[in-house]
Amino acid sequence: MEIEKGKIQEVWNYDHNKIVKYKQVIKNNTLNEVTEIETENLNELISEVRKQLYEWNKIV
């Protein structure tokens, strides 16, 4: 399975003094599917990316 992961993006609040969420785009070239994952903390983002990869592995 061919997977591409984009950079983790930090979304800052209006005053630019606090990160309010994290985003990452992952692309499965084998299934031709793109998923954008957005969470409020970095550990949760990593966990959600792993869950998505696990789901794709079950399909293939």
Q: What is the pLDDT of residue 29?
A: 95
Q: What is the pLDDT of residue 60?
A: 73
Contacts of residue 23, defined as CB under 8 A and 6 or more positions apart, other chains included, come to 8, 9, 11, 36, 37, 38, 45
3-state secondary structure of 60: coil
Q: What is the pLDDT of residue 57?
A: 92
Q: What angle do CA 12, 10, 54 make, to 5 degrees?
A: 140
Q: What is the pLDDT of residue 59?
A: 86
Question: pLDDT under 50 in the chain at which residues?
Answer: none
Looking up tokens 């079950």 gives 58
